[in-house]
Amino acid sequence: METLKKEVQEKTAVKSVKMTGAEAVIKCLLEEGSTLAYGYPGGAIMPVYDELYKYRAQFHHVLSRHEQGAIHSAQGFARVSGKVGVVFATSGPGATNLVTGIADAQIDSTPLVCITGQVGSHLLGSDAFQETDIIGISTPVTKWNYQITKASEIPEVFAKAFYIAKSGRPGPVLIDITKDAQFGELEFSYKKCEKVRSYKAIPTLEIEKVKEAAALINQAKKPLIVWGQGVILGTAENEFRNFIEKTGIPSACTGLGLSALETDHPLHVGMVGMHGNYAPNVLTNQCDVLIAIGMRFDDRVTGNLNSYAKQAKIIHFEIDPAEVDKNVKTDVAVLGTVKETLVKIMQFVNKGNHQEWMKEFHKLYEIEKEIVINDQLNPAKEGLTMSEVLVEINKETKGDAVIVSDVGQHQMIAWRYAKFNKTRSNVTSGGLGTMGFGLPAAIGAKMGAPDREVIAIIGDGGYQMTIQELGTILQTKVAVKIVVLNNSFLGMVRQWQELFFDRRYAATVMTNPDFVKISEGYGIASNRVSKREDLADAIKKMTDSKEAYFLEVVIEPESNVFPMIPSGASVSDIRLT
């Protein structure tokens, strides 16, 4: 018996090996199944980069051209792959250059582990060269952060970081490691984290709440579902489709919820929000039960809260208790993962049919089509429109591409006109609205889904914020396709100046460089089109390319994105012109 017990202990024991803290960092990543990181080296993180050189056969590092580019690439990778994105940076400016991306990942629930080097622990607080309190700076925009000052802390902290980043509602985690901790030695052993005291990743599902929600749904005459990215993050696409098809409820998405359900599904009635579709916005204020699934009632979705769905009973399926009743008061909150809660509620909801109610959505869609969509796709227009470009891309990709959008008018057009047949196909900066996100995120997205076509849709303004990442494409040969919609304006700001500031175009006119020459300088095949008759062939040439490709499309300079809910207005006050 003692012999058997000893054999079991030997088999289950976590073996330890002596190594430096820097090597332990790489070993921790490999233990978590992470073999790819984006980053930029510097003095305080150099010991880790030295180990990266030794492990280059097992671990791939992408040298971005700026730390913000690195973290956006890590975001793009995480969003399409469902894995945790990893990024490295040095101390001081290297670390602070990550902050925008960290904030972006926090508000959009993207799982990241950010690893920053730090000055030696004996220099902390002394204003040493390139010392910055990145722990203090990043605390408001991380799910968790920690400063390691001893090599022995590394395995436990990394295991905890990965668990926190990917569990429950995902988010970014930052680990700051002093240089002496990287040089120090430890007896390395690794055990994955499965729980953290005082941190409850998933709230307890209450079956009574599920039954209450089902009762409201079964009684509803005009129900409306609004789903968000929580369906994708919870890998609940199939459960969600089963739920809407059983209940027959019209379903609209938020911007980040796009691609959880195929665009052409008969129950998909469009997108809600400031530049969403006319029907779901207007009918939000006519439905009798509003079922929110994996969304957080962002102000861009709700408009004026004082007039948002006041006539409706509100059901909220949510994993994060902090989001319940934060913006919109709910009648029933169903806490838990949507993958689990949607399965549970299927036992209690009736087979539904809301064809008469659906006719209201179809009727309003026809109004939007006549006033907005047909106008945007009007071949008689003198200049090209952004909408035309997306429609041509749909024809070539058949809705199977990953569309990565930057921030601005083109982003709203991409959301409205791109076709999505597969989940995790819409990568964008939602909550923070980070210009410059598109190009580096597309690089990461292509690396996260190498067998899929990845097309970046970017405006001329946002493109120039991270244009240096063309150097990353040059070095990695990643076959991302880049479409810059060039109207020589900061388009979204200009639209507001036109509509609400009497066309006072202050600081929105762009004098742009020759984008084709720039991309050719980075060894990227390029083209520019400005005529409608050349557009289809140009897009086909781009999508046929097996390598990276840049396409500039010169579009109407003062084209606006409609529908539009003016700031502070009700969703039912959405404008078509």
First to last CA, the chain: 82
Catalytic residue among 67, 318, 388, 469: 67
* Residue of 505, 418, 407, 503 lying closest to 462 (CA atoms): 407
Active site residue 130: yes
Annotated catalytic, 67?
yes
How far CA 359 is from CA of 267, 268, 281, 575, in Å, comes to 11, 13, 15, 21
What is the C-alpha to C-alpha distance for residues 495 and 501, in angstroms, rounded to an integer? Answer: 9
- Is 179 marked active-site? yes
Contact 497, 529 (CB under 8 A): no
Judge whether 219 counts as a catalytic residue.
no
Q: Which entry of 274, 492, 542, 564 is annotated as an active-site residue?
A: 492
Instruction: Count CB-CB contacts under 10 A for residue 11.
Output: 7
- Out of 27, 160, 179, 481, pick the active-site residue: 179
Determine the Cα angle at 14 with ends 11 and 15, to 5°.
95
Q: What crossing angle do the helices spanning 338-345 and 207-219 adopt, rounded to 10°? A: 60
Selecting among 83, 130, 212, 558, the annotated active-site residue is 130
What per-residue string of b and e applies to 340-376 under the rule 16 or more CB within 10 Å gives b?
A: bbbbbbeeebeeeebeebbebbeebbeebeeebbebb
The verdict on whether 552 is a catalytic residue reads: no
Catalytic residue among 6, 7, 54, 129, which? 129
Contact criterion met (CB below 8 Å) for 317 and 293: yes
SS (H, E, C) 168-213: CCCCEEEEEEEHHHHHCEEEECCCCCCCECCECCCCCCCHHHHHHH
Q: Are 97 and 89 in contact (CB under 8 A)?
A: yes
Question: Contact 551/502 with Cβ under 8 angstroms?
Answer: no
Cα 490 from Cα 512, distance rounded (Å):
11
Catalytic center residues: 67, 129-130, 179, 492
